Amino acid sequence: MKGGYQMVDCKGLDLTGGSTAQTIAGIHEEFSKALASNKPVYLYGCKNGTNKPTTPIQAFLNAGATGTIVATIAGAKLFVSSENAVVIE
């Protein structure tokens, strides 16, 4: 493995979104590439409420059920479905 890390553009994902699914075009493919890279992952382009941008966030990714990718950030879990829907627990 070569050094480095992966950056995933979350395209405005609202981290306060709760259990309501947010659909973001192409996000599953980006998470899939990051997971396959086997490198540290940082999420950017997130927001914390309306128009409150965040700094990049380190995430731990793993494969979930039925093609879902699970990202853990600061104790929260993001479930990214193959239909590009993101649910935050």
Q: Domain segments of the chain: what residues? A: 6-67
Residue 54: per-residue pLDDT? 87
**Cα–Cα distance measured from residue 3 to residue 21, given in angstroms and rounded to the nearest whole number:** 34
Residue 72: per-residue pLDDT? 96
**Cα–Cα distance measured from residue 5 to residue 74, given in angstroms and rounded to the nearest whole number:** 18
Mean pLDDT of 39-57: 90
Q: Interior CA angle at 74 toward 73 and 80, to 5°?
A: 25
Residue 1: per-residue pLDDT? 62
Q: pTM for the full model?
A: 0.90
Enter the tokens of residue 64. Answer: 């979930």
Specify the amino acid at residue 53: P
The 10 Å Cβ neighbour count of residue 39 is 14
CB-based contacts of 34: which residues, under 8 Å, 6+ apart? Answer: 6, 8, 41, 61
Structure confidence by residue, pLDDT tens digits, 2-47 = 789 999 999 999 998 777 899 999 999 999 999 999 999 999 999 9
